Amino acid sequence: MQGKRVWQCGALVLGVLCLLMVSCRDEETQERMASIRIGISLYQGEDTFINNLCSLLEEKAKEFEQERGIKVILDIQDAKGSQNIQNDQVERFISLGCDVLCINPVDRMDASVMIDRAMTAGVPVVFFNRQPVEEDMNRWDRLYYVGVDAKETAILQGQMVVDLYREEPRAVDLNGDGVVSYVLLEGETSHQDSLIRTEWSVRTLKNGGVPIEKITGGIANWERSQASALMEEWLTDYPDMIELVVSNNDDMALGAIDAMERAGGHGMNVIGIDGTTPGLEALEKGKLLGTVSANKELYASVIVELAASCALGEGLPEGYPLEEGTYYWTPQEILIQTIKEN
Amino acid sequence: MISRRGKVLLFLYAIFLAALFLMCSTDWIIREPEKEVYQIAVIIDEDKSDNYTNFRKGMDQAAAELNADVHFITLYKKLDVEQQIGLMEREREDGADALIVIPVKEGQVVAETSAVPVTLLHPAPSNEAGGIVVDYRKMGERMAQEMQTDMPKGSTVLLLTASGKWGVADQLFLEGARETFGIGENVRQAVWKEGEAGFLAVLDGLGLQEGEKTAVLAQNPEVLSAAAGILAESQEVAGRILGLYGRGSTVQILNYLDRGQIRGVCVTDGFGIGYLSVCEAVRELEGNGKKEALVMDSYYIEKEDLREEFFERMLFPVE
């Protein structure tokens, strides 16, 4: 009898404790509602596209803050191309009490350390721009990815030349020999976008009936200066042969344009990807034939909204449906000097 | 069978282990000194952080060294004093231990500062103790002197001003330059207009004689970048300008300087200012009081100076 009473008392005490804990947790959530802290780590702050996106993230965070009346603290760090630095940054973000992390991974194959740390701390992660491998993404249901579909990007890049060729072949086949001779500027070899962009862009050109012939190609690691150096070399090695420069991004396309200008300005066509601010300026000035641009405003909005929802423990934002509950693909459009389409 | 002595020894050993565990893993016996993390909010006077890259690097460096948690806040609207005061209030309420403020209007901001230590970045020498001073009037004077040395005597100078609201730094820089150039027919002032056509319209408005060129002094980094961008693209504009000058040290400005579109710029040590402002805030938080305001030097540099070790370290700091 007495034993039963002891059990009953114990259960009562436990119940009261549980209630206390739940109410404390509610209070804590209420308190946390007033402000959220987002740790953002960039693979390379000097990358023009990332730089543009980062400015937009700051803007969107401010908009969110004004609309929802919830203070948003952004901790933005540049990993300077080092995965070790990025791992440390993730550690620091967690120890500073960030509610959510937005990571633009340095090495997409090596996101597991960051994921481990985030999982241990229970901090959700929104990856962006550089997609971690699927095995890593499947490890936890609080990992998300916001980016563009690299295959779609590449097809759009190829399609802009196909359309132009069909409309006016001489605008692409500049010397009228029935063959479009091109050079290719590729991004990092370890980046999935680089490989997919190259493969599908060229395949779209071929499938679209453009008679292409590759003169040469090189890896310029997304960088303007490296692309410029490569192009300078090609202009010397293949004088008056290059008709088209296919670049995996705008920065490298601009590097090629720089080299062409230094060499006295050639009339060849240059196409890029990203729609960065300098890329769009070059497009406006007629130096760049075209680019494929993701809707960067939307890109940044999704990252901020998704991160904020995670931090606040709300349901995922309804306006941005996630594929498999994890991936958001930002819509893209072709921007070309003569043709503009959505 | 363990002897009585053995049992006592075992008991003592267990006690010893328990004491060792308590000493190493808890605060019950040896209290580990608690290292306080200072919460510092930095509120600037602009809506974008583009001009503050080096400043932020310096700030982050000091934060890591001094155990501070620093977060950087831009305004929703550039030069909105009410909002800056509102944000200062918000940060105080949210538990910031100290504030670092680049004030939109120093007087108003100072009046609001009492509850927590505030480190101000003054745009002119101040009677207030503490803070960091960048003397923009003096910078304007220095700029004008350098231009006078650089340009042929009697050349026309165009002071190209920002089209929107001017910040205190913009105002003081322009005043310094204007006072040094003096009042004369060859010193003109015009508001910046976007694009090549806009720039040409501004130059046409000067009424210069055929073939006569003008030196241009941009009032702030935004105008300087925009004007340099036009110069890089337009032969027509470039052909009508003796040299473009201004202030600022963004990567874009330094690139234009390196490529020759900008003749000379006045720069300050942004990294140092960011670093020292956090140091100053922490100093005050640790109860060391305010020191005398620290006056930062500004320098005039041209293309060739970019490769000098001193400027290279200052303008492209490695964290």
In the prediction, which pLDDT does B113 show? 58
Task: Report the range out of B26-40, B84-98, B107-121 with the highest average pLDDT.
Answer: B84-98
Task: Find the range with the poorest average confidence among A161-175, A208-222, B106-120, B241-255.
Answer: B106-120
Residues in chain A: 342
Q: Average the pLDDT over B33-62 and give the result.
A: 88
Summarize pLDDT for A268-298 with one digit per residue, the tens: 999 999 999 889 989 988 899 999 999 999 9
List, in order, residues 6 or more apart from B209 with CB less than 8 Å away.
Answer: none
- The chain-wide mean pLDDT, for chain A, equals 88
In whole angstroms, what is the distance from residue A312 CA to residue A127 CA?
18
Query: pLDDT band for position A15 (50/70/90)?
Result: low
Angle at B106 (CA atoms; ends B100, B109), nearest 5 degrees: 65
Evaluate if residue A30 carries a pLDDT over 50.
Answer: no
| Of the candidates A144, A52, A50, the residue with the CA atom closest to the CA atom of residue A100 | A144
| Gyration radius of chain B over CA positions | 27
Confidence of residue A17 (pLDDT cuts 50, 70, 90): very low
Mapping DSSP to helix (H, G, I), strand (E, B) and coil, where does residue B160 land?
Answer: strand
Residue B296's H or E segment, with its range, is strand B294-296
- Binned at pLDDT 50, 70 and 90, residue B109 comes out as confident
Average pLDDT value for residue range B103-115: 73
Q: Is the pLDDT of residue A9 over 80?
A: no
Residue B316 per-residue DSSP state: S
Q: Which chain B residue has the Cα nearest residue A286?
A: B233
- pLDDT score for A307: 96
Helix (H) or strand (E) holding A334: strand A332-336
Taking contacts as CB-CB distances below 8 angstroms, the residues of chain B near A50 are none
Judged by average pLDDT, the poorest of A2-11, B116-125, B269-278 is A2-11
Span A140-156, mean pLDDT?
94
Of A66, A75, A285, the CB nearest to B71: A75
Q: Which of B49, B199, B264, B173 is nearest to A74 (CA)?
A: B49
Q: How confident is the model at residue A341 (pLDDT cuts 50, 70, 90)?
A: very low
What's the one-letter identity of residue B180? T
Q: Does residue A202 or residue B107 have the better pLDDT?
A: A202
Are A124 and A313 in contact by the 8 Å Cβ rule? The answer is: no
A67-95 confidence digits (pLDDT tens): 999 999 999 999 999 999 999 999 999 99
What pLDDT sits at residue A277? 87
Select the more confidently predicted residue: B30 or B208: B208
Cα A287 to Cα A281: distance, rounded to the nearest angstrom: 9
H or E element: which one contains A160? helix A150-167
Give Cα separations from A223 to A73, B81, B251, B317 (angstroms). 31, 40, 16, 21
Q: Which of B48, B55, B71 to mutate to test the interface with A (most CBs of A within 10 A)?
A: B71
* Cα angle B234, B235, B237; round to 5: 70
C-alpha distances out from residue A340 to A39, A156, B66, Å: 37, 12, 53
Tell which wins on pLDDT, A17 or B202.
B202
pTM (predicted TM-score):
0.80
Highest mean pLDDT among A317-321, B4-8, B192-196: B192-196
Lowest mean pLDDT among A7-11, A19-23, A126-130, A212-216: A19-23
Return the percentage of chain B with pLDDT > 90, whole number. Answer: 58
pLDDT(A31) > 80:
no
Give the pLDDT confidence score for residue A214 in this predicted structure: 95
Closest-CA residue of chain B to A96: B69
Spatial separation of the C-alpha atoms in residues A166 and A174, rounded to whole Å:
14
ipTM of the complex: 0.77
Helix, strand or coil for residue B133?
strand
Phi-psi region of B245 (alpha: psi -120 to 50; beta: other; left: phi over 0): beta
Determine how many CB atoms are found less than 10 A away from the CB of residue A5: 9
pLDDT for B231: 92
Q: Contacts of residue B72 in chain A, CB cutoff 8 Å?
A: 74
* Contact: A77, B50; criterion CB under 8 Å: no
The span from the CA of A325 to the CA of A145, in Å, is 10
- For A51, which residue in chain B has the nearest alpha carbon? B50
Nearest to A96 among B48, B69, B90 (CB): B69
pLDDT band for A216, please (50, 70, 90 cuts). very high
Radius of gyration (Cα) for chain A, nearest Å? Answer: 25
Q: How far apart are CA A107 and CA A132, in angstroms?
A: 8
C-alpha span between A236 and B61 (Å, rounded): 45
* Rounded CA separation B108/B242 (Å): 41
Instruction: Kindly write down the DSSP assignment for every residue of B186-240, as one continuous string.
Output: TEEEEE--SHHHHHHHHHHTTTPPTT--EEEEESSHHHHHHHHHHHHH-HHHHTT
Q: Where are the alpha helices (DSSP H) in B30-80?
A: 53-66
| Mean pLDDT, residues B32-54 | 85
In angstroms, what separates the C-alpha of B290 from chain A's closest C-alpha?
28
What's the rounded mean pLDDT across residues A157-181? Answer: 94
pLDDT at A8: 59
Chain A closest-CA separation from residue B153 CA (Å): 34
Determine how many CB atoms are found less than 10 A away from the CB of residue A129. 24
Say yes or no to pLDDT of A32 above 50: no
Q: What percent of chain A has pLDDT over 90?
A: 72
Residue in A closest to B57 by C-alpha: A77
pLDDT in tens, B216-275: 999 999 999 999 999 988 889 999 999 999 999 998 899 999 999 999 999 999 999 999
> Interface of chain A against chain B, CB under 8 Å?
34-35, 46, 55, 58, 62, 66, 71, 73-75, 77, 96, 285
pLDDT bracket for residue B61 (50, 70, 90): very high
CB within 8 Å of B59: residues ≥ 6 apart? B42, B70, B72, B100, B274, B275, B277, B278
Q: Look at B50 and A55 and tell me if their CB atoms are within 8 Å.
A: yes
* Residue percentage of chain B with pLDDT more than 70: 97
